[in-house]
Structure 1
Amino acid sequence: MERTSNLQNPTSEKNLSGWINGFIGVVIFSASLPATKVAVLEFDPVFLTLARASIAGVLALALLGLFKARRPQRIHLLPLLIVASGVVIGFPLLTALALQHVTSAHTIVFLGLLPLSTAAFAVMRGGERPRPAFWLFSVLGSAFVVGYAFSQGLTAAPEGDILMLLAVLICGLGYAEGAKLSRTLGGWQVISWALVLSLPLMAPLAWLWAPTSFTGISPPAWFGLAYISVFSMLIGFVFWYRGLAQGGIAAVGQLQLLQPFFGLALAATVLHETVSMGMFGVTAVVIMCVIAARKFAR
């Protein structure tokens, strides 16, 4: 019995470490949409996307050089390009565009779909096979999110909602692909190399797309840009990819259902946006769904 317990401890500790790292990543990501909302009020959304990727890319290049990280092999290039397309370019751009049409509180609710998207790509790209009950609770949580979005008047700003749905889809692919690659390349190396691969494209475009003058840009807008560049684009992924690789993509990915709760709280306290009881009600339901889904994730 003692021998069996000892053999099981490394796996148990690895799973626990995965959930801790994943939770830290979710907390960091929770402030992304409120910070983007602050920044997009004064920065063009396309420039914001280019600038955040360029700043994070320069930091990632410095980290890779400082720690003398090994270069990715040829077989890593396509997965890295998928990661870059999903989380470096696609998700930031689509969410920034969506925030021109809807509030950050409204977009945050759509993040409840991310666990389902991530789990689906975990099966397609990561080779994971969650139990049927896992899908029941994942779909149930996502259904509450989508139902709430429709109940709040989806036709009022269809552009914003469509953009958010596309963002969730492409982000799920980027999460699953990055987590799969993290098992061999390392979590911080994956996001760093994805950013560096994007840098030759993003930096020149950021310079071309830059406003003629930065005069009048308020400190909150600069803070928003700094946060999404350093934390949302780089540091958060260090913890997130490590957590997904350690604890399982589909399982740890369910932690994203907590992200709306933290994000809604920030939207209410920092941006003074109206957060209805319905939003908190939906968040409470999806939190219960992630607890149930976690039980059947493996």
Structure 2
Amino acid sequence: MATLHSLKVLEADRYYVERQLADAQQDPWGTALMMWQNRLAEITRQIDELAASSSSYASVALIFEGNPVISSTDIRVDFTTDALTTFQKLVAARLAEQERQAAGDHAALPRRGRLPGRRSSSLYIRDIVRGSMGFVLEERAEQAELLPTKLKEAVESTTALLGRLNSAEEDEFQRIVLEAEPRVVQAIQKFTKVLFEAGASTRIAGDQNELTMGIADVDRLSKRLNEVEVSEDVETVDGVLQGLLPEKLEFEFKIAGEDGPTIRGDVAEDLATKYTLDPAFVERLLHKPGRARVKVVRTSKNGVLTKEQRIMETLEPISSTLTAY
């Protein structure tokens, strides 16, 4: 179970037992006193053991309050589905972002579709949070790991990123948004929108990072993120494909004309698959005249462009000879 949440539960139990132990001092037989002393010793042992332990796998508790939750036993199914789904997508985007950064790859993530490493980003509902309405999400431990997995790092950094955005002043908020991948920003927008529209608050607790967002926090963060706009345009361009890396979903394309620039960006998954599996397709297109449909994704904050991303969606040979490459 997520360490920080488990510690909080045990500490609440210890507080309760300490109160009972104080009352039991008046027990003339000492039976209740011994029982509560033993219980306190066991809780203290569990706290010490948990504090000293370290798991290499991702584990996080998502706890909800507000309109979708009735007491601590019932929660709306539609809200639960949307909240857990958008959180999972946020973690997946964060993992893909961190893997690209670790590889020294500065290309933006694809705006839509499958993310690199999607299979390794899956979390599973492992338990229900007791005493509150929430869920413990964990990574499947298929083999022993000595070091924290990439997914564990992504989960912890996701919680930390949400915390930074929640507490940041305006200048810091803009800087964080500017540095983040557009797809990560969009994923945060969707997660907070689910909370905002449902009138829900949340506490997210992992092994290292913890975040509590009340109703006012959710409202403020959702409204600030709504100021971030992502627009899409589709361009058809002629030129020559200089290179395409299907495993990294990247391309390099020289625009036709003597002074035509070389553009770089991401490749749609379907096009990358075709490029990988169809040698004849590669033969017709690599270093030869072609026509590409490129989607341009622009991220703006209060009308100011902060990031631009290009995604090649289709590519076909053209019969006419293009000059000056």
Give your verdict on TM over 0.5: no
**Greater C-alpha Rg:** 2
Q: Greater relative contact order (Cα 8 A, min sep 6): structure 1 or 2? A: 1
Greater per-residue helix proportion: 1
Short-chain TM bin: under 0.3
